[in-house]
């Protein structure tokens, strides 16, 4: 494998991790806690699309619309039926909500296994065109689509958060939910918007990444952990921080096994996680809360 192909693979993995981390970021900023169901949302986006195309003979775009809508619907259910009631009963505590969301993660995986089976399904291509050749390296259409979506997603959300009233409300609620409530801001509506956007983003991300290695009902947990670690590494100081964390992890995922072989990337990711949790738990970019 040439160096260009290695860097391209690292970029692709980094964009995938970064997009998952961005979905985490949206909920963290808008609702103030980690939504570990992000991975299962992404898994539903890819798995449901593949199942509908392969077993129900549905058009890939129609299947993608159903799958992404299902991911967004699961995000809404997570907020309205799980997180909000748990936080209300616990007086706004974060730990009970985290435990509840962890339960949602495994519940979605079990539901996906029951509905779609436990075998790995090949991912579906939304766009098909000839690979783009750069030197001796052929860049596949699925890679180009994922890279393009990454640019659009990060750029669009950065502009939305900075330039729209709803985006500014999201940051205000994230800075202090209690203060936002005292000021009469629509906290519940902002939280729901954050969950919906994270579900849509995760669903599309899982759908676009699935052609690389397939997707199964067990993919949700590993994707949830990868996205969470990318956000921890990047931090929450900027909308672009999750992408930086994702790209760093993507480089570890690709280059460590290339030079050290086997499953060494697992140890590489573990070392990165330990270093950041121990030495820089706020990540590379620290969020500044306005007083």
- Taken in order of first residue, the domains within the chain and their CATH numbers are 3-120+136-279 (1.10.3470)
The answer to whether residue 1 scores a pLDDT higher than 60 is no
Per-residue pLDDT band for 291 (boundaries 50, 70, 90) equals very low
How confident is the model over 91-111, as pLDDT tens digits?
767 788 888 899 999 999 999
Q: What is the 3-state secondary structure (H, E, C) of 28-96?
A: HHHHCCCCCCHHHHHHHHHHHHHHHHHHCCCCHHHHHHHHHHHHHHHHHHHHHHHHHHHHHHCCCCHHH
pTM metric for this prediction: 0.92
The model's pLDDT over 152-176, given as tens digits with 9 standing for 90+, comes to 999 999 999 888 888 888 877 766 6
Instruction: With a cut of 90, say whether residue 289 has pLDDT above it.
Output: no
What are 2-49's pLDDT values in tens digits?
Answer: 677 888 999 999 999 999 999 999 998 888 788 999 999 999 999 999
Burial of 164 (0-12, 13-18, 19+ CB in 10 A): exposed
Residue 122 tokens read as 């090949």
């Amino acid at each position: 494998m040439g160096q260009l192909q290695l860097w391209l693979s690292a970029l692709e993995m980094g964009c995938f991790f970064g997009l998952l981390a961005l979905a985490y970021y949206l909920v963290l900023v808008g609702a103030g806690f980690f939504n570990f169901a992000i991975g299962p949302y992404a898994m539903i986006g890819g798995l449901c699309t593949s199942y509908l195309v392969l077993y129900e003979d549905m058009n890939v775009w129609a299947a993608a619309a159903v799958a992404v809508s299902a991911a967004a619907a699961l995000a809404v259910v997570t907020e309205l039926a799980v997180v909000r009631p748990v936080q209300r009963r616990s007086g706004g505590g974060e730990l009970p909500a985290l435990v509840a969301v962890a339960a949602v993660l495994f519940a979605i995986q079990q539901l996906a296994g029951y509905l779609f089976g436990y075998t790995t399904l090949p991912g579906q291509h939304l766009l098909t065109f000839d690979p783009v050749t750069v030197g001796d390296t052929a860049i596949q259409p699925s890679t180009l689509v994922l890279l393009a979506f990454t640019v659009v997603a990060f750029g669009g959300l950065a502009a939305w958060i900075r330039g729209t009233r709803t985006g500014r409300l999201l940051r205000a609620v994230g800075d202090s939910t209690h203060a936002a409530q005292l000021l009469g801001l629509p906290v519940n509506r902002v939280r729901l918007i954050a969950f919906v956007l994270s579900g849509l983003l995760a669903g599309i991300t899982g759908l676009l990444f699935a052609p690389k290695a397939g997707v199964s009902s067990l993919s949700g947990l590993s994707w949830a952990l990868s996205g969470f670690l990318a956000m921890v590494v990047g931090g929450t100081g900027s909308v672009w921080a999750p992408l930086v964390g994702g790209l760093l992890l993507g480089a570890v995922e690709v280059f460590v096994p290339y030079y050290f072989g086997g499953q060494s990337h697992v140890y590489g990711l573990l070392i990165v996680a330990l270093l950041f949790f121990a030495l820089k738990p706020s990540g590379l970019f620290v969020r500044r809360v306005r007083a």
